[in-house]
Amino acid sequence: MIYDSYAMYLCDWYRARDQDHAHSLTLRSFLSRNRLMITHHAVILFVLVPVAQLKQQHTLLYKVNGVLTLATFLCCRILLFPFMYWSYGHQQGLSLLQVPFHIPFFCNVANAFLIAPQIYWFSLLCRKALRLFDTPQAKKDG
């Protein structure tokens, strides 16, 4: 999370430098413009990671967070691609199934490369969630 935040700052700093902005990108201006993303990273780093390290996986907070993570990952990282194709098709008067044949081939290839790791990571999250919620009966009775 620290690396992600630092990388975001560097990207903004280089972008501001390349655009010859009269004002320099200060840490304060970066934090104020990216308040939500920085808060997201801070909560994960300072709340959710310690909960996981303290073996608190059995708590309701951990389980609710897991379900919300699955739902937001599915909506924002996987369903984004069919929505993008549907939206383009809607603008062009095409059905969802016609869109891949009416856009440049490299766009489909690029989207395939982008969605493949998302699907893989989502499958890992689902496996983790199944292990969390699927405790064997022997352990429950033991």
pLDDT digits (tens, 9 = 90+) for 5-21: 888 888 887 777 766 65
Q: How far is CA 5 from CA 14, 15, 23, 44, in A?
A: 14, 15, 21, 12
In-domain check, residue 61:
yes
**Into how many domains does the chain fold?**
2
pLDDT score at 22: 52
**What proportion of the chain, given as a percentage, has pLDDT over 70?**
87
Q: What is the pTM of this model?
A: 0.62
Average pLDDT estimate for 78-94: 95
Confidence of residue 123 (pLDDT cuts 50, 70, 90): very high
Rounded to whole angstroms, how far apart are CA atoms 20 and 18?
5
In-domain check, residue 141:
no
Among 24, 39, 54, where does a domain finish? Answer: 54
Q: What is the dihedral of CA 49, 51, 57, 63, to 10 degrees?
A: -80
Q: Is the pLDDT higher at 98 or at 39?
A: 98
For residue 141, what are the contacts with CB-CB under 8 A and spacing of at least 6?
Answer: none
pLDDT score at 58: 77
Domain of 21? 1-54
* Same domain flag for 48 and 63: no
* Same domain flag for 1 and 36: yes
Confidence of residue 136 (pLDDT cuts 50, 70, 90): low
- Judge whether residue 50 has pLDDT over 80: no
- Judge whether residue 105 has pLDDT over 70: yes
Taking the CA of residue 117 as centre, how many other CA atoms within 13 Å lie in the half-sphere pointing to its CB?
Answer: 3
Instruction: Answer whether 62's CB lies under 8 Å from 56's CB.
Output: yes
**Angle, nearest 10°, between helix axes 80-92 and 105-133?**
140
pLDDT score at 55: 73
Mean pLDDT, the chain, rounded, equals 83
Instruction: Answer whether 2's CB lies under 8 Å from 45's CB.
Output: yes
Rounded to whole angstroms, how far apart are CA atoms 61 and 48?
9
Structure token pair of residue 4? 């992600």
